């Protein structure tokens, strides 16, 4: 190997980069190797430091946070310190003379349709999404052949601790979807879903389950995509493409992915043992897929994203007709769908919060059994969705468990 | 979700980005989603396009290739087209007014101690590292608790097709290490090791095996790292840190990782069924670990990296004393080590090629059984290492197979 590269690696790994002394700042846990920046202090302020010796202007762009000019230092680095930020993982980019790029000190996370930077701001006392000294499940990359898309598709599967050893055991499955601009890596890389499940399972707060994280973009085999240049978001052409993506995804999940998972993993295959949830775009997809296939799913979660089920111009859900009429009879619905769950962060943009709150209000009024959760002080970001999963996962597959216990007691 | 984000995603996914018409250029397979740039033409030329409307100077920096000024276009994008490049995955960065950054059109690959860009240049006729219509193994993320480092450590494990179904079958294991500045994700993300194995196994050219890809950086629990600021590469302080990293890695592999793998996967646990190989820094580590533990390994591979086994100032290996004297008796060595394998690319920097060629020459002269492979026309880059693995993997575990067959025939 190149000796100079090795030397600089050793230097980086040894953590001797020239960090400025300053209060309680520590390198973010989301940094690469031992990169000293970005760093976070005890007040949740984030300091960004970015090398751009010849730039005229460098800005930092937190996607759900500060957007500000950075300050040039004598050594060619630009710095900026944020005000205290909410806990969680915050996507950001740096804009160097008009070029929006990632910070090389950060781990790359797939978001905004590119590999972006993010900084982890710890939440005081919150350990539920951190790797603990408990048994760890595996996260498996799989490739399945989809007749729907005509391609090999990549997905991730969390298998709980003990899956390989308990070879007679079968497990329920949660299908868990990422948001728009993200991909199937989001729930483990950004969301730490595997650690959340590890910790819940170790504490016996959630049943051991598989979590399948699929890629949310699907294009039907042979389907041509129209030229969308110049077409607006609400244009019929754009709506058609989105609708096609949605139904291709629906068919891929129900006709290719679920059969593959049930054939290749030791799953419990009835609807009592299958859940689906997703965040943002993934929440919309979850509602679309599950309500079209209630024969397959019993547990449904929308994290900062649910259904566009309101009639045009209306603020209220028509629970008699919405979702193919699944809720028309609240008692029958409660029996059929063991969990209907919505969540939203209290500092998410007004438009997003309102959509979910109105759905909640409509369901309350019609006495449709559901759970509504608000994540205090978090935005349309991963801390909201980690909390959602932490609240959602323990509620899963309990009805089936109670049934099994009841059945066992009868014998 | 944000409607504008969704709209731009749909646009990206629909592939309607404004691509300039130009010859046979096609988007690189290493791009994110449907990003149109970088793109590659039939002559293996790569066109980079990078948005930096306010920059004064933008350079492209292929780490083993062209380093050149890009040309500003009227639309705020900068472009550059390389001369024909060798096939394979080429790391590159873009330097915007002195800031070295990744190209948002590229998938991010961990190299150079950061998440960098790379462009895949196809090799005419070469399909061995591409996903084919064959059964696919899984790539599993695992976490193991290392008493050596005092931390939970992350590794990847390739399990061959059928591993979950053939529950009585046990498998040999190849430990496969990344290079300096890379991490455990390199062999699958950059190297496509899983597809190489899938294809070899489907063609019955390699035995089904596990491939364990560990993180090559290890720091012993409680070990403090000296301040290396201002210390040169050859300084005693730096050498000490490197030596400590090496032995911590050695202990982690032999005392934590191997026992974990053998306890948690259905492996064949004798030395006849264990191989180790690595590229560049990983090759050096392989030689260090295996020759200190010949009780554990029977197959050894160095890909563009082997041992610093020459005496100071000498161009020749003293095969009587090198490697703890393991080669002193060539016949005994050939019996004990079933495969000693070296490879190097013909266009790698002179210094690297010479080190490996001299090792080869010394072994030839001393009649030490080994395999020496040159990858034609490739540099210190992933195409060399993909070819290395393609040549190396089929040679593994064949002696054990022959022994088993002989034993079976005797019965």
| Predicted local confidence at residue A238, as pLDDT | 82
What residues are paired with A89 via a beta bridge? A120
Whether B113 sits inside 8 A of A245 (CB atoms) is: no
Whether B97 sits inside 8 A of A98 (CB atoms) is: no
pLDDT at B174 over 90: yes
Return the residue in A15, A92, A112, A141 with the most chain B beta carbons within 10 A, the one to mutate for interface testing.
A141
Chain A: give the shortest CA distance to residue B332, in Å. 31
Residue A369 dihedral angles phi and psi, to the nearest 5° = -65, 125
pLDDT band (50, 70, 90) for residue B241? confident
Mean pLDDT of A222-243: 81
Mean residue pLDDT of chain B comes to: 92
Q: A293-346: per-residue pLDDT in tens?
A: 999 999 999 999 876 667 667 788 899 999 999 999 999 999 999 999 999 999
pLDDT at B370 over 80: yes
pLDDT at A411 over 60: no
| Predicted local confidence at residue B405, as pLDDT | 57
CA–CA separation, B397 and B389 (whole Å): 14
CB-based contacts of A305: which residues, under 8 Å, 6+ apart? A179, A278, A279, A280, A281, A282, A283, A284, A286, A352, B1
Mean residue pLDDT of chain A comes to: 92
pLDDT band (50, 70, 90) for residue A34? confident
pLDDT band (50, 70, 90) for residue A2? very low
pLDDT band (50, 70, 90) for residue B172? very high
CATH architecture of A138-410: 3-Layer(aba) Sandwich (3.40)
pLDDT at B298 over 50: yes
Whether B99 sits inside 8 A of A180 (CB atoms) is: no
pLDDT band (50, 70, 90) for residue A232? confident
| Predicted local confidence at residue B232, as pLDDT | 74
Which residues 138-177 of B are in CB contact (within 8 Å) with A? Answer: 138-143, 145, 152, 164-165, 167
Q: Which of A261-270, B24-33, B178-187, B349-358 shows the lowest mean pLDDT across its residues?
A: B349-358
**Could you identify the residue written with the tokens 């059928």?**
B162
Q: Which of A1-15, A350-364, B280-294 shows the lowest mean pLDDT across its residues?
A: A1-15
Whether A140 sits inside 8 A of B143 (CB atoms) is: no
Return the residue in A99, A133, A136, A356 with the most chain B beta carbons within 10 A, the one to mutate for interface testing.
A99
pLDDT at A71 over 80: yes
Whether B32 sits inside 8 A of A113 (CB atoms) is: yes
Whether B104 sits inside 8 A of A101 (CB atoms) is: yes
Chain B: give the shortest CA distance to residue A365, in Å. 25
Residue of chain A whose alpha carbon sits nearest to that of B168: A167
Residue of chain A whose alpha carbon sits nearest to that of B19: A229
Return the residue in A11, A14, A182 with the most chain B beta carbons within 10 A, the one to mutate for interface testing.
A14
pLDDT band (50, 70, 90) for residue A6? low
CA angle B384, B389, B390 (to 5 degrees): 95
CA–CA separation, A407 and A226 (whole Å): 55
Whether A174 and A209 have beta carbons less than 8 Å apart is answered as: yes
Residue of chain B whose alpha carbon sits nearest to that of A281: B1
Q: A137-163: per-residue pLDDT in tens?
A: 999 999 999 999 999 999 999 999 999
Residue A129 dihedral angles phi and psi, to the nearest 5° = -110, 10
The H or E element containing residue B230 is none
| Predicted local confidence at residue A57, as pLDDT | 98
| Predicted local confidence at residue A260, as pLDDT | 98
Residue of chain A whose alpha carbon sits nearest to that of B99: A52
Q: Which of A11-20, B61-70, B296-305 shows the lowest mean pLDDT across its residues?
A: A11-20
| Predicted local confidence at residue A408, as pLDDT | 58
Q: What is the 3-state secondary structure (H, E, C) of chain A?
A: CCHHHHHHHHHHHCCCCCCCCCCCCEECCCECCCCCCCEECCCCCEEEEEECCCCCCEEEEECCCCEEECEECCCCEEEEECCCCCCEEEEEEEEECCEEECCCCECCEEECCEEEEEEEECCCCCCCCCCCCCCCCEEEEEEEEECCCCEEEEEEEEECCCCCCCCCCCECEEEEECCCCCCCCHHHHCCCHHHHHHHHHHCCCCCCCEEEEECCCCCCCCCCCCCCCCCCCCCHHHHHHHHHHHHHHHHHHHHHHHHHHHHHCCECCCHHHEEEEEECHHHHHHHHHHHHCCCCCCEEEEECCCCCCCCCCCCCCCCCCCHHHCCCCHHHHHHHCCEEEEEEECCCCHHHHHHHHHHHHHHHHCCCCCEEEEECCCCCCHHHHHHHHHHHHHHCCHHHHHHHHHHHHHC
Count the Cβ atoms, other than its own, within 10 Å of residue A407.
Answer: 9
Return the residue in B8, B9, B150, B165 with the most chain A beta carbons within 10 A, the one to mutate for interface testing.
B9
CA–CA separation, A52 and A73 (whole Å): 10
Chain B: give the shortest CA distance to residue A1, in Å. 5
A305 touches chain B (CB under 8 A): yes
pLDDT band (50, 70, 90) for residue B127? very high
Nearest one of B245, B234, B189, B244 to B213, comparing CA atoms: B189
Of residues B5, B227, B242, nearest to A180 (C-beta): B5
Mean pLDDT of A274-300: 97
Residue of chain B whose alpha carbon sits nearest to that of A188: B141
Class of domain B19-121: mainly beta
Q: A92-124: per-residue pLDDT in tens?
A: 999 999 999 999 999 999 999 999 999 999 999
- The percent of residues in chain A predicted with pLDDT above 70, rounded, is 90
| Predicted local confidence at residue B117, as pLDDT | 98
Chain A: give the shortest CA distance to residue B271, in Å. 24
| Predicted local confidence at residue B9, as pLDDT | 58
Mean pLDDT of A347-367: 93
Q: B184: which 2 tokens?
A: 């455990």
Q: A51-66: per-residue pLDDT in tens?
A: 999 999 999 999 999 9
Class of domain A23-121: mainly beta
| Predicted local confidence at residue B313, as pLDDT | 72
A105 touches chain B (CB under 8 A): yes
- The structural domains of chain B, with segments of one domain joined by +, span 19-121, 138-410
| Predicted local confidence at residue A195, as pLDDT | 98
Return the residue in B4, B13, B267, B384 with the most chain A beta carbons within 10 A, the one to mutate for interface testing.
B13
B246 touches chain A (CB under 8 A): no
Which residues 220-239 of A are in CB contact (within 8 Å) with B? Answer: 225-229, 232-233, 238
B217 touches chain A (CB under 8 A): yes
Which residues 16-35 of A are in CB contact (within 8 Å) with B? Answer: 16, 18, 32-33
Q: B49-92: per-residue pLDDT in tens?
A: 999 999 999 999 999 999 999 999 999 999 999 999 999 999 99
Mean pLDDT of A346-353: 93
- The percent of residues in chain A predicted with pLDDT above 90, rounded, is 80
Nearest one of A114, A110, A101, A107 to A51, comparing CA atoms: A101
Chain A: give the shortest CA distance to residue B328, in Å. 27
Chain A: give the shortest CA distance to residue B396, in Å. 24
pLDDT band (50, 70, 90) for residue B235? confident
Whether A13 sits inside 8 A of B217 (CB atoms) is: yes
Whether A131 sits inside 8 A of B142 (CB atoms) is: no
CB-based contacts of B264: which residues, under 8 Å, 6+ apart? A164, A165, B142
CA–CA separation, B112 and A331 (whole Å): 59
Chain B: give the shortest CA distance to residue A103, in Å. 7
Mean pLDDT of A335-361: 94
Query: Mind giving me the DSSP string for B17-47?
Result: S-PPP-TT-EE-TTBSTT---SEE-TT--EE
Looking at residue B108, the DSSP 8-state letter turns out to be P
| Three-state secondary structure call for residue B296 | coil
Q: Chain A to chain B, count of Cβ pairs less than 8 Å apart? A: 234
Of residues A97, A142, A241, nearest to B97 (C-beta): A97
pLDDT at A15 over 90: no
pLDDT band (50, 70, 90) for residue A16? very low
Of residues A33, A136, A304, nearest to B113 (C-beta): A33
| Predicted local confidence at residue B11, as pLDDT | 53
């Amino acid at each position: 190997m190149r000796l100079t590269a090795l030397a600089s690696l050793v230097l980086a790994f040894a953590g001797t980069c020239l960090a400025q002394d300053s209060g309680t700042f520590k390198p973010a846990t989301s940094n690469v190797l031992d990169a000293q920046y970005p760093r976070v202090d005890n007040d949740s302020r984030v300091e960004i430091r970015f090398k751009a010796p010849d730039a005229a202007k460098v800005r930092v762009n937190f996607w759900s946070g500060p957007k500000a000019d950075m300050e040039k230092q004598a050594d060619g680095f630009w710095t900026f310190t944020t005000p205290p930020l909410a806990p969680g993982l915050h996507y950001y980019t740096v804009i160097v003379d008009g070029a929006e790029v990632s910070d090389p000190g950060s781990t790359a996370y797939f978001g905004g349709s590119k590999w972006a930077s993010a900084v982890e701001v710890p939440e005081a006392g919150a350990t539920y999404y951190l790797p603990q000294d408990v048994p760890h499940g595996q996260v498996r990359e799989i490739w399945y052949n989809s007749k729907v898309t005509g391609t090999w598709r990549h997905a991730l599967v969390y298998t709980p601790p003990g899956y390989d050893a308990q070879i007679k055991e079968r497990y329920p499955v949660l299908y868990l979807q990422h948001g728009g601009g993200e991909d199937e890596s989001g729930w483990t890389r950004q969301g730490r879903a595997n650690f959340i499940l590890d910790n819940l399972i170790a504490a016996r707060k959630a049943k051991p389950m598989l979590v399948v994280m699929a890629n949310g973009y699907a294009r039907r085999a042979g389907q041509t995509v129209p030229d969308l240049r110049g077409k607006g978001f609400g244009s019929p052409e754009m709506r058609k493409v989105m609708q096609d993506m949605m139904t291709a995804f629906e068919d891929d999940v129900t006709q290719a992915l679920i059969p593959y998972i049930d054939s290749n993993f030791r799953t419990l295959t009835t609807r009592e043992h299958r859940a689906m949830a997703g965040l943002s775009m993934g929440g919309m997809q979850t509602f679309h897929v599950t309500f079209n296939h209630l024969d397959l799913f019993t547990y449904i979660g929308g994290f900062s994203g649910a259904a566009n089920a309101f009639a045009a111009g209306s603020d209220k859900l028509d629970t008699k007709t919405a979702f193919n009429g699944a809720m028309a009879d609240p008692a029958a619905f409660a029996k059929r769908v063991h969990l209907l769950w919505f969540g939203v962060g209290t500092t998410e943009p007004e438009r997003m919060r309102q959509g979910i709150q109105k759905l909640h209000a409509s369901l309350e009024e019609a006495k449709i059994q559901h759970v509504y959760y608000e994540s205090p002080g978090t935005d349309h970001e991963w801390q909201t969705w980690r909390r959602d999963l932490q609240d959602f996962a323990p509620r899963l597959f309990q009805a089936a468990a109670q049934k099994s216990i009841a059945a066992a007691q009868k014998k």
